[in-house]
């Protein structure tokens, strides 16, 4: 396979040169924001840091972290967040977080920083193999949630034909994809699975859509092996993971070598991996919380932002030839989502991976109840029409026993009784 790049020169730059690129951009960003951005200036002054002396990655590690709570507080200061570096006239876009876990955070972009978002998506889409010959469908309701808005900028950069998919039902979207002979799409992994289910219900033949590439964000699913292989089999396409967040930007992507994880766009972000409790760097190769400094969003920057995402850096070279940092397994989960059941550390992605191995399961919900020291796990599964539900219940139980040494309670529920999602799914609950 020919590996496609967005900017091959930068994507294959030796690490020491990449580091110089990062340090140069960091210094330029700090020079602009310090003194003009009230939020950043206040934070740095309070910490006693001397930002004009910050020139290296080691210097950066001496600056304080930024948290979502701080950005929310900066937002509460007025119509514009105090994290805006420039006067209001400079801003051309406002978006917000999905609000699945609390009130939405608004983020502001200038012409330059919105263009930068598009550049980052260029790395994502070219990394998955999209070219100017692709017809790229985005089944997303283009509202205030930032979601896949920036994917449009990426498609423009690589000159693919963008087919917007908002304002219609799933069945209508499938028909539009077939009519337009769509070859690529971007959505959450949950929604790619939902479209498969709708196609089956409607008697729609997915093979009438010449799909070859699917790109997924918003959830770890595309790096969850069982979810990935189900999407790939049903769509007859290669499925790629991508991670980003409103607060920081579109920061990582999966390449065509598909080594079982993602690359960080090191030319646009500086990442650190820290112990979520102590805040100190973890040993190379250990799991920890992802901390990000973005380098292209000077109008609304984040410096050492605590993402709450758990990642694990793999330093070995990637067969694709990129020198960009790799995350094993993409974003593994959220720091807050890890539960310990009888001494076993479990993330929702690991549970999803075990449930999704069973083709008969269309949707599921996991409830973990904590009773004193013991935790119990309940998995409700919704099986597809005609499936042997009791056999599936036993099979799911068995998978958990052999993989995790746990025996969950598994209940089959009526069809269409569990919620369906177009964006981020909520399938995990701790009671
Ligand atoms: Zn690679």
- pLDDT tens digit sequence for 200-224: 999 999 999 999 999 999 888 899 9
**pLDDT higher than threshold 60 for residue 373:** no
Mean pLDDT of 169-193: 97
**pLDDT higher than threshold 90 for residue 1:** no
Mean pLDDT of 299-323: 97
pLDDT digit string (tens) for 312-360? 999 999 999 999 999 999 999 999 888 877 777 788 888 999 999 999 9
Mean pLDDT of 140-166: 94
* pLDDT band of 263, cuts 50, 70, 90: very high
Strand spans (E) along 148-264:
161-164, 184-187, 213-216, 238-245, 249-253, 261-264
The DSSP symbol for 302 reads: -
Cα-to-centroid distance, 223 and ligand 1 (Å): 14
Position 372 scores a pLDDT of 57
CA-to-CA distance for 340 and 404, rounded, in angstroms?
12
Position 374 scores a pLDDT of 61
pTM of the model: 0.93
Cα-to-centroid distance, 243 and ligand 1 (Å): 15
Cα-to-centroid distance, 262 and ligand 1 (Å): 7
Cα-to-centroid distance, 426 and ligand 1 (Å): 30
Cα-to-centroid distance, 200 and ligand 1 (Å): 34
Mean pLDDT of 294-321: 97
* pLDDT band of 29, cuts 50, 70, 90: very high
- Phi/psi at 417 (5° precision): -90, -20
DSSP assignments along 43-105, one per residue = HHHHHT--GGG--SHHHHTTSPPB-HHHHHHHHTTSSS-TT--S-GGGEEEEEE---TTSSPP
Position 24 scores a pLDDT of 98
Position 418 scores a pLDDT of 95
Contact predicate 330/254, CB 8 Å: yes
Cα-to-centroid distance, 9 and ligand 1 (Å): 14
Mean pLDDT of 92-105: 87
**pLDDT higher than threshold 90 for residue 376:** no
CA-to-CA distance for 238 and 245, rounded, in angstroms?
23
pLDDT digit string (tens) for 234-251? 999 999 999 999 999 999
Cα-to-centroid distance, 187 and ligand 1 (Å): 21
Cα-to-centroid distance, 221 and ligand 1 (Å): 19
pLDDT digit string (tens) for 110-138? 999 999 999 999 999 999 999 999 999 99
Average model confidence (pLDDT) across the chain: 94
């Amino acid at each position: 396979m020919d590996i496609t790049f967005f900017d091959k020169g930068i994507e294959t730059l030796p690490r020491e040169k990449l580091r110089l690129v990062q340090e140069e951009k960091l210094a330029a960003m700090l020079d602009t924001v310090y003194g003009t951005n009230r939020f950043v200036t206040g934070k740095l002054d309070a910490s006693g840091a001397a930002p004009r002396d910050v020139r290296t990655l080691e210097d950066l590690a001496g600056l304080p972290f930024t948290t979502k709570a701080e950005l929310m507080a900066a937002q509460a200061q007025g119509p514009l967040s105090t994290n805006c570096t420039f006067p209001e006239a400079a801003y051309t876009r406002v978006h917000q977080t999905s609000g699945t876990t609390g009130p939405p955070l608004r983020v502001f972009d200038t012409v330059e920083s919105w263009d930068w978002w598009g550049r980052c998506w260029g790395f994502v889409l070219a990394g998955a193999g999209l070219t100017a010959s692709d017809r790229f469908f985005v089944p997303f309701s283009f509202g205030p949630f930032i979601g896949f808005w920036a994917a449009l900028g990426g498609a423009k950069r690589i000159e693919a034909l963008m087919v917007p998919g908002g304002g219609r039902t799933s069945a209508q979207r499938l028909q539009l994809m077939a009519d337009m002979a769509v070859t690529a799409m971007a959505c959450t992994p949950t929604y790619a699975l939902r479209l498969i289910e709708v196609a089956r219900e409607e008697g729609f033949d997915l093979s009438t859509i010449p799909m070859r590439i699917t790109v997924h964000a918003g959830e770890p699913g595309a790096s969850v092996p069982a979810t990935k292989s189900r999407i790939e089999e049903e769509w007859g396409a290669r499925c790629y993971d991508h991670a980003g967040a409103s607060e920081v930007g579109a920061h990582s992507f999966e390449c065509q070598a598909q080594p079982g994880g993602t690359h960080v766009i090191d030319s646009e972000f500086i990442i650190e991996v820290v112990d979520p409790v102590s805040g100190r760097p973890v040993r190379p190769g250990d799991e920890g919380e992802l901390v990000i400094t973005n380098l292209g969003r000077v109008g609304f920057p984040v410096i050492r932002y605590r993402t709450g995402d758990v990642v694990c850096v793999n330093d070995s070279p990637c067969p694709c030839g990129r020198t960009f940092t790799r995350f094993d397994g993409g974003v593994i989960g959220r720091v807050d989502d890890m539960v310990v059941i009888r001494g076993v550390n479990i993330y929702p992605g690991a549970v999803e991976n075990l449930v999704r191995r069973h083709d008969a399961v269309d949707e599921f919900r996991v409830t973990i109840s904590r009773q004193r020291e013991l935790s119990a796990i309940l998995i409700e599964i919704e099986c597809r029409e005609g499936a042997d539900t009791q056999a599936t219940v036993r099979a799911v139980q068995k998978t958990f026993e052999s993989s995790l040494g746990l025996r969950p309670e598994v209940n089959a529920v009526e069809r269409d009784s569990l919620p369906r999602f177009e964006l981020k799914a909520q399938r995990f609950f701790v009671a």
